[in-house]
Amino acid sequence: MSSEPAYPEPVRHDDHGTWLVQFTGRVLVVCPKCGGRALVVPRPGLPAPKYFSALLFQPRRLACAGCGTVADWTAEQRGAGLVGAVPGGTEDPFFRRPLWLQTRCAGRILWAYDEEHVDALAAYVGARLRERRASPTMAMFARLPVWMKSAEHREEVLAGLGTLRGLARLSAPADRSDAAYERGDRPRHYGSVLFRGGPY
């Protein structure tokens, strides 16, 4: 067994203002029917959004290769606007299914949407020097919980992210992390409203 860490530790991490919504193009979730791994993606045939914030309103499809379950999601119409999804927490922002990529870490639940999200978190957590090059208002890294950013928990969080990457390669119901059964840590519901003709 290799003794090398799951992720190399970069010397520096430059935060250019990446938003969490940028990782919602592909979300691994627990299938509502069989409990295995399902995938949530933009509905096939749609044009790529001009702005990544439009991902909050883009119609989605949940599909499970294990049992064949398919479901569709569209943003709710409210008056003249659309109510978009709100990313964050251990449920996917569209179907509100538990995320497949969850594990217990430092007394909390560590989660991610997919492998790309895991890698982005690992690059940040593993960095010894972190530089912010954009406003922290909506930036994902600036909004991470303190325990994930703490040097005290660096090795534990990196190990947890390695566990998530391993889970991404698994798909059977029996492979599901025991943490993926927990729900309800989302502090808010749908609430991003895009008024017709206006920018988000």
End-to-end CA distance of the chain: 49
Q: How many residues are there in the chain?
A: 200
Q: At what angle do helices 115-125 and 154-168 cross, to 10 degrees?
A: 170
At residue 127, the pLDDT reads 80
7-28 pLDDT, tens digit each: 554 565 556 568 888 899 999 9
- Taking the C-alpha atoms of residue 186 and residue 19, their distance in angstroms, rounded to an integer, is 17
User: Is the Cβ–Cβ distance between 43 and 98 less than 8 Å?
Assistant: no
Count Cβ atoms below 10 Å from residue 75 Cβ, excluding itself: 20
Whether 157 has a pLDDT exceeding 60, the answer reads yes
Mean pLDDT of the chain: 82
Summarize pLDDT for 182-191 with one digit per residue, the tens. 554 443 344 4
The answer to whether residue 169 scores a pLDDT higher than 90 is yes
Distance CA 192, CA 190 (A): 6
The mean per-residue pLDDT over the stretch 139-155 comes to 88
| CA pair distance 168, 87, nearest whole angstrom | 19
Class of residue 68 by CB neighbours under 10 A (exposed 0-12, middle 13-18, buried 19+): exposed
Give 194's pLDDT tier (boundaries 50, 70, 90): very low
pLDDT-derived band at 142 (thresholds 50, 70, 90) equals confident
Report whether 54 contacts 175 (CB < 8 A): no
- How far apart CA 135 and CA 76 sit, in angstroms, is 30
Please, which residues have CB within 8 angstroms of residue 101's CB and are 6 or more apart in sequence?
28, 111, 112, 113, 114, 117, 118, 164, 167, 168
pTM: predicted TM-score of the whole model, two decimal places: 0.82
Q: Tokens standing for 171? A: 């798909």
Tell me which of 84 and 141 has the higher pLDDT.
84
pLDDT 10s digits, 38-64 = 999 999 988 887 877 888 999 999 999
List pLDDT tens digits, range 63-116: 999 999 999 999 988 887 888 899 999 999 999 999 999 999 999 999 999 999
For 42, 105, 154, 180, the CA distances from 5, given in Å and listed in that order, are 34, 17, 12, 25
